[in-house]
Amino acid sequence: MSALELWNEIHLELLAAALASIKLALGALTIGLVLGLFLALARLSGKGWLWRATGIYIEIFRGTPALMQLFIIYFGLAAIGITFSSLQAAIIGLGLNASAYLSEVFRAGIQAVPKGQTEAALAIGMTRTQVMVWIVLPQAVRVMLAPAGNIAISLLKDTSVASLIAAPDLMLRAQDLSSQYFQPLEIYLIVGAMYFVLCFPLSLLVRAVEPDR
Amino acid sequence: MTDLFTWLPRGDLLGNILSTLLLGAGTTLMLTAASFVVALTLGFVLALMRRSPWLPLSAIARIYLEIFRNIPILTQLFILYFGLARLGITLPATVAAVLGFGLNGAAILSEVFRASINAVDRGQNEAALAIGMTPVRSFWSIILPQAFPIAIPSVGNFLVGLLKDTSLASAAAVPELAFRARMLVSETYLTSEIYLTVALIYLFLSLPIAHLAKRAERRSLPQRAA
């Protein structure tokens, strides 16, 4: 079967699987953004034990492969009675992983806002929370946008790793189809092209919002 | 091969598990080192190509970068390992993995090298040319030595990423750490114990590199500010 005939036969399945990958990435990104922001705030709270605890969390998740994290959450926790579906485990695992990277982006972004901004806002009577929400974070977003975008692209690519715990994504469907049609080269090239079509525009977007270039 | 670890308690389950995992960690390190060499070499060539005034050459390097950067490494590995096999090109799993991680890493490192070279003050090149150096001589003996320390933190971060990514080679049955762990789990059912131990081993391997990269970064900061 030529690559074109193959595409005609399997493209609906592949597109549905690509959509599943996008949903998986968005789910994990949501966890990563929310948890990452809290981690960054905890890290900057000025409390020594919070700084250390978040530091350890970040080192662990950045120092071990995402694959091992997924294995521990999916297979490891199941062995001690905590069972997730492979999709749930993938969203949680990739989300926790992304939160470690995103928290460092948030921390750097928040620290890049000049101290005088906080001092001035406190001086006119704002509370610490108000200062963070209305003064610091809006200014920090500009600095965070490009690195956070790069992490989001990595996350979208990393959803392919979830196929190794059989989470329903594009790469898992590719493995199924290639054992069904015996045309792994064509199928993986098509799937590679699909990932490229998803990620390349995002890369261009990130480069457009990069501050100094 | 397990004879290498005679100092471990032998004959019992724990000793077997630990020696198998250490064996896997050795393969992981060798896989990482070999891929790193490929990535460094090809990455440098690509960075040079990007600087070429001849458009086709820099365009090829640019297209290479975008393709490898925007496709998951797992997909690239599967194309090399399962895909090429269908064309009759059967690469041993380890070779396919080194090639895959090397080609992918080259794209990342070419960007690192390009940015580091560009970060060297332009006056350095101008001064070198003014005292009569050729552009080639200026590049090799003035620009590159100064670009090198700038690149170190990013190269360190890349190396940590590479070390972790080699775990994906387990999907192509390369007998590295993650693969050995999967085999051990299917034999012993000590699932959480083994995967946690393996995570610790990865942490133990990656933290020193991350730490060195961070230290290099801090050392280079005041320099850049001055």
pLDDT in tens, A93-140: 999 999 999 999 999 999 999 999 999 999 999 999 999 999 999 999
pLDDT, residue B217, reads 82
- Give me the pLDDT at residue B10, please: 52
In a domain, B101, yes or no: yes
What are the DSSP calls for B53-74, one per residue? SSHHHHHHHHHHHHHHHSS-HH
Residue B169: which CATH number? 1.10.3720.10
Of the partner residues B70, B72, B207, the one whose CB lies closest to the CB of residue A200 = B70
Is the CB of B141 inside 8 Å of chain A's CB atoms? no
Nearest to B192 among A76, A184, A185 (CB): A76
Does the CB of B89 have a partner CB in chain A at under 8 Å?
A: no
Chain A contact set for B181 (CB, 8 A):
68, 71
Q: Which residues of B touch A163 (CB under 8 A)?
A: 74
What residues of chain A lie within 8 A of the CB of B199, using their CB? Answer: 60, 64, 68-69, 72
Query: How many domains would you assign to chain B?
Result: 1
Domain A3-209 adopts which CATH fold? Answer: MetI-like fold (1.10.3720)
CA atoms within 13 A on the CB side of A46: 1
C-alpha distances in angstroms, B115 versus A42, B108, B110, B157? 33, 11, 9, 15
Residue B207 has pLDDT above 50, yes or no: yes
CB contact under 8 A, A189 and B83: yes
Domain assignment present for residue B8? The answer is no
Distance separating alpha carbons of residues B180 and B177, to the nearest angstrom: 5
- Average pLDDT for residues A41-66, to the nearest whole number? 94
pLDDT confidence of B68, banded at 50, 70, 90?
Answer: very high
> Cβ–Cβ of A164/B87 closer than 8 Å?
no
Amino acid B218: pLDDT: 83
User: Per residue in A160-185, pLDDT tens?
Assistant: 999 999 999 999 999 999 999 989 99
Q: What is the structure's pLDDT at B98? A: 97
> Is the Cβ pair A68, B73 closer than 8 Å?
no
- Retrieve residue A185's tokens: 């080269």
CB atoms within 10 A of CB A201: 11
Question: Which of B69, B74, B180 to mutate against chain A (most A CBs within 10 Å)?
Answer: B74
User: How deeply is B39 buried, as exposed, middle or buried, from its count of CB atoms within 10 A (0-12, 13-18, 19+)?
Assistant: buried
Signed CA dihedral, B9, B13, B18, B23: sign only? positive
Please list every residue in chain A whose beta carbon sits closer than 8 Å to the beta carbon of residue B157: none
Helix, strand or coil for residue B50?
helix
Chain A nearest CA to B202, separation (Å): 5
Domain hosting B58: range is 28-219
Specify if B23 maps to a domain.
Answer: no
Residue A207: pLDDT above 50?
Answer: yes
The total of other beta-carbon atoms located within 10 Å of residue A86's CB is 19
Tokens 């790069």 correspond to what residue?
A150
Statement: residue B226 has pLDDT above 80: no
Whole-number pLDDT of residue B222: 53
Residues of B in contact with A174 (CB under 8 A): 75, 78
Q: Which residues in chain B are closer than 8 Å to A77, comparing Cβ atoms?
A: 192
CA distances for A137 relative to A105, A141, A211, angstroms: 12, 6, 17
- Whether B176 is covered by a domain: the verdict is yes
Residue B12 within a domain: no
List chain A residues with CB under 8 Å of B111.
Answer: none
What is the C-alpha to C-alpha distance for residues B99 and B86, in angstroms, rounded to an integer? 17
**B210 interfacial to chain A (CB closer than 8 Å):** yes
Contact B79 A153 (CB under 8 A): no
- Say which residue the tokens 């393969």 belong to: B27
The single-letter DSSP state of residue A169 is S
Measured CA to CA, the distance from residue B220 to residue B208 in angstroms comes to 18
Q: Where is pLDDT greater, at B8 or A59? A: A59
Q: What is the pLDDT of residues B100-130, one digit of tens each?
A: 999 999 999 999 999 999 999 999 999 999 9
Is the Cβ pair B167, A67 closer than 8 Å?
A: yes
Q: How many residues does chain A have?
A: 213
Contact B77, B96 (CB under 8 A): yes
